[in-house]
Structure 1
Amino acid sequence: MSEPDVSVVIPCRDVVDVVEDQLRALQAQDFPGRFEVVLSDNGSRDGLADHVEAWAREFGLDLRRVDSSAVGGVSHARNVGLRAARAPVVAICDADDLVVPGWLRALAEAARGAELVGGVMDVISLNDEVRRAWRPGPPADGLPQKFGFLPYAMGCNLAVHRDVALGLGGWDETYVAGGDDVDFAWRLQLAGHRLAVATDAVVQYRYRTDLPGTARQFRAYARCEDRLLRQFAPAGARPEKPSRFRRDLSWLVRNVRDVRGDEAARGRWVCRFATFRGRTAGNLRGALGR
């Protein structure tokens, strides 16, 4: 059998209850070439390995599992999947999201002219209005940016040339709670490679439904900002103006009554506070040289 044109890597852990929908969505792709699906299992305890052969038969996919349990974290799972991939182009998606028809074809076509391709996110289809109110949505038809610097591809919706990713050392596994996809995309571009957007490569992205978990996620993302700034400031990344701190604090004080409001208002305030707290902690850690 010939080698696949694209390898789809899904970093995963304990996803038996949700991954079948994503596999069904991959089955429905209209990609004209051959592709394989690699489940990079980061330490599942739900019997994931026992289902792989049955899933391959049920969905008619070239599907296999690789063990990435040696080190916890999505970056390690991506790297193990990247090394195991048999195709020259590697696409990445998450187990609990849904890729829309045309997703893989759009990524692969865009990858002919760029070493890294990011798709776009649909946050409407899988999330109720309350959860959407908790957080700002991603760009509707482009790639996100940070610190007035370079755009980046989100780690749950991208394609990359395997040799380029391996040449960069893959994803930095010391970014364990956010910032990994930003770091990867910025290092790639600073090495002279191209980043493109594929607007037809849409992933229906699933938000967390519990407020404490969402707040922890926001705090972790914000904590990594100082590290990204220190790492990429020589290349042109610039911190937010000092007025950002005062503006955010003022908003939290003005709207503190929302903590007793409805679920949407309370969640929006809690997530904004978590981001403020994480950003402040990251700045302090940077000031102390940690």
Structure 2
Amino acid sequence: MPATCSVVIPTFNAAHVIGHQLGALADQVDTPAFDVVVADNGSTDDLAGAVDQWTDRLDVRVVDASRGRGVSVARNVGIERAQTDRILICDADDVVAPTWVRAFADALDVHHLASGPAETVSLSGPSAGWVPIDQLSTGLYETWGGRTYGLGGNTAMRREVWERVGGYDEGFPAGAEEIDFAWRAWDLGYRFAYVPDALLHYRIRTDLRGVLRQQYNSGRGTATLYAKFRPPEVVPKSALRRAHHELLLLRRFPWRGSGDARRMWLTLMAFEAGKLTEARRLGCPAP
């Protein structure tokens, strides 16, 4: 039976975890026919061997997405190579719920763009408490001006959206590239629909260094987003207010708090550092 939707998985050196995601896709409930495109962004591990183990249960193939580095490149190549015009995007290190494909396939009958909830505890353990992300989301994420977006690794869209938006910006820092895509889609009149049954089990880095790097990149992406769009409702802090803000953050170090409280403080500081560093590089105020 021909595929009616395509699952795109941008991937880099994920041979050790992608089996969990492919297994979840193989176990989908009441699902329409779909194909899976693993977009390899230049992996040096045995990704092909890990994927080959699932070819008897999934219509899955690996495509070369190494023409540039980054998740946006891999997503764009994966979407280009997908067999259908209905695109479902997830990441190699996460795990989708059994109703994920069906929920998104049904949503795309009505909507052009959709996302669903994310749960962080089951794959992340204690590190789920280190970052300022809801451990179980209950709606779309919101940015400046009430603009909403979905996680890049839990997105469904019709191909025409991707084409009209111009794909994911391959020069955008990882960490907010999906917000950039959502803002450009918003300007064209596309709005995310929220699909409660499209649940994603999201993996936060389980080592502190990885979490800090992730938050630093998110800060860089936030600064880039402001520099690119300059939303009028955002008033950057003056140099004096910025210094006061950073001093307050430093004073909030939880000297008497738990180890998790200190790790949470460090992730906040990593986000601020990324934001300030990228704003300085771009020559614009930090939001």
Q: TM-score, normalised by structure 2?
A: 0.90
The within-5 A match list for 1:184-223 is 184-223=181-220
Q: CA RMSD in A?
A: 2.2
Superposition map of 1:46-65 within 5 A = 46-57=45-56, 60-65=57-62
Q: Per the alignment, do residues 246 and 116 of structure 1 end up closer, same or farther by CA in structure 2, a change over 3 Å counting?
A: farther
Distance change >3 Å, CA 283–CA 52, structure 1 → 2:
closer
Closer, same or farther: CA 288–233 of 1 in aligned 2, 3 Å? closer
CA shift for structure 1 position 193: 1.9
Aligned partner letter, 1:179? A
- Choose which of 227, 230, 233 in structure 1 pairs with 2:227: 230
Alignment partner, residue 10 of structure 1: 9
Alignment: residue pair count: 282
What is the CA distance between 1:237 and its match in structure 2?
5.4
**CA gap 1:91/1:288 in 2 versus in 1, 3 angstroms:** closer
Change in CA separation of 1:248 and 1:202 when aligned onto 2, cut-off 3 Å: farther
- On the 8 A contact 1:114/1:193 being kept in 2, the answer is no
**Deviation digits for residues 207-243 of structure 1 (CA, Å, limit 9, x no counterpart):** 1011122112211211222221132235x55256666
Q: Determine helix, strand or coil for the equivalent of 1:217.
A: helix
What TM-score does the superposition give when structure 1 sets the normalisation length? 0.89
Q: Shift of the alpha carbon at 1:263?
A: 3.0
Quote the Cα distance in structure 1 between the aligned partners of 2:187 and 2:143.
15
Q: Which residue of 2 aligns with 1:36?
A: 35
Aligned pair 1:264/2:260, yes or no? Answer: yes
Q: Following the alignment from structure 1 to structure 2, what is the Cα–Cα distance between the partners of residues 257 and 53?
A: 50
- Counterpart of 2:247 (choices 246, 249, 264) is 249
Q: Report if aligned partners of 2:253, 2:262 keep a CA contact under 8 Å in 1.
A: no
Q: Which amino acid aligns with 1:74?
A: V
How many Å separate the matches in 2 of 1:126 and 1:151?
25
- What CA distance in whole angstroms lies between the structure 1 residues aligned with 2:186 and 2:101? 22
Take 2:145 and 2:284, find their aligned partners in 1: how far apart are those partners? 25
In structure 2, the CA distance between the partners of 1:90 and 1:252, relative to structure 1 (3 Å rule), is: same
**1:1-290, aligned counterparts within 5 Å?**
2=2, 4-57=3-56, 60-128=57-125, 130-138=126-134, 140-233=137-230, 236=232, 238-239=234-235, 246-247=244-245, 249-255=247-253, 257=255, 262-287=258-283
State the 1:152 CA deviation: 0.8
Query: Which amino acid in structure 1 is aligned with residue 179 of structure 2?
Result: V
| 1:170 CA displacement | 0.8
Distance 2:59 2:235 in 1: 45
1:285 is displaced (CA, Å) by 3.2
Quote how far apart the aligned CAs of 1:255 are.
1.8
Q: Distance in 2 between matches of 1:269 and 1:191?
A: 38
Shift of 1:257: 2.4
Structure 1 SS opposite 2:265: helix
What's the % identity of the aligned pairs? 38
